[in-house]
Structure 1
């Protein structure tokens, strides 16, 4: 059910531009239906007589569209005449597809390991252990490490244990429970033996508390700094996995982009 909007909440020019796409004989209907106010306050809408609509032929003619400033800055243009240098990619269907050898006995884990490489695991293990040591040392200096703190039982995680931790985390995404503790519940209704067999609750939560992919002490928090990186927290792993995407699979010429990852300017 459509709801009417108070004029104080409406950007009149924006709606006028949108309604510029509507045939003139239909504009009054849209104005009354969407922009008329239910209140008796001043500012009631009486039509678009004084608004400059976008001409219909301008909308239907993409050659006359107005370039957005950020598009122009990135080299985009709506004028085909500006495409003096076109990039041609030499697609070769003989070289598309998966670029890795797939064993006959491949399992789902075999494909996960195409991307979750030893390098990714090594970075994750190193940075997680480093962060745990940093936190423990800081709390010891400040006297903030409580007697019964879990951090007193911290021991360095290794690559095999990190694989178990990630596997348990993936399983939690498949079997949803309302609370993390319930994965280790002994209640006969909630009991799921897989999780306690893989890892204790305390150990899982301790690794989760310390999980890191980059060195916190080198982070640049000033967004105005030239070296500021909004992905700093995951940058090493992000770069490795992104490179693996390029190495593992070569796409074909025809692609379908799911979701709205590219802003639509139409």
Structure 2
């Protein structure tokens, strides 16, 4: 029977196999008979020979008798609809004068976002500290910039950047922006949300990421504003390395980064991240979330419906 199928595969599209019309003879494949008939061109002689090389057989007819036929439903292959949405950098970025790296960074880390850090940090100090020196927008920008520089020039501790007794570690640029005492004060008192309004663990609206939720929300919205997605989208999970103590830390032994924060990310063909969501693990009652992959896909792609995107989802 295998030979039957192999021979049928060689039949040209304009020909077909000669099948018995009697369906009653096609009950089993034990008595399958194959007859291969050479199909010749016009021009062969009476003895079956050929006048030239052009008259050689160009196809075979396969006669299959007493072979079972299995009919299957054939689906018509349709092309995906045309992509009907704009993609790429928006006009307000293209029309920007002198787009320096700092100006582009401000599109994601906006002044409104930093001003919220200033307000919430001062509010936290008013709620718990009797005497303090309030911060402002300029000082908060310096604090954010110092943290970015420390990510580029990594030292054992943040105090080493101000260490005057070790010239190989001392950083004169960072030390002139802010004193080490003031920088340590920011590390202790920096806040992004009002602690007095935070729901308790057993209350409705409880959020493990409540203290950083405004920052995550604003950055995610700015990601979406600064780039229109391409036709191809992909949703997958990513890991942010972290080995400290946290209730939302995940352990995934098959990942290159095995311990850290698990993040769902929606990216396009260029690799640009448009939306993200940090996975917080089980609920406060210890119940595992059901239909997690479905919920994540719907939440991150709800604004891209009816635009004919091609999507690949790798939610596991």
Q: TM-score band (shorter)?
A: 0.5 to 0.7
CA distance in 2 between partners of 1:265 and 1:180 (Å): 38
Which residues of structure 1 form unaligned runs of 5+? 1-87, 138-151
Q: How does 1:187-206 map to 2 (within 5 A)?
A: 187-206=166-185
Q: 1:122 aligns with which of 102, 111, 115?
A: 115
Report deviation, 1:105.
1.9
Q: Does 1:166 align with 2:157?
A: no
Judging by fraction of residues, say which structure has more strand: 2
Query: Which residue of structure 2 aligns with residue 227 of structure 1?
Result: 205
Report deviation, 1:229.
1.7
Report deviation, 1:107.
1.4
Judging by fraction of residues, say which structure has more helix: 1
CA distance in 1 between partners of 2:175 and 2:163 (Å): 9
Report deviation, 1:119.
1.4
Contact 2:236 2:315 in 1 (8 A): no
Report deviation, 1:198.
1.0
Report deviation, 1:201.
0.6
Contact 2:237 2:315 in 1 (8 A): no
| Count of residues in Structure 1 that have an aligned counterpart in Structure 2 | 162
Report deviation, 1:123.
0.8
Contact 1:91 1:252 in 2 (8 A): no
When Rg is computed on C-alpha atoms for both structures, the one with the higher figure is: 2
Q: 2:84 aligns with which of 92, 106, 116?
A: 92
- Structure 1 residues 89 and 104, CA gap change in structure 2 (3 angstroms): farther
Which residues of structure 2 form unaligned runs of 5+? 1-79, 239-262, 265-292, 294-313
Q: 1:112 aligns with which of 83, 101, 105?
A: 105
Report deviation, 1:109.
1.1
State the TM-score, normalizing by the size of structure 2. Answer: 0.47
State the TM-score, normalizing by the size of structure 1. Answer: 0.55
Q: What are the Cα deviations for residues 52-82 of structure 1, in whole angstroms up to 9, with x where unaligned?
A: xxxxxxxxxxxxxxxxxxxxxxxxxxxxxxx
Query: Which residue of structure 1 aligns with residue 278 of structure 2?
Result: none
Q: What are the Cα deviations for residues 126-147 of structure 1, in whole angstroms up to 9, with x where unaligned?
A: 000111121214xxxxxxxxxx
Secondary structure of 2:155's aligned partner: coil
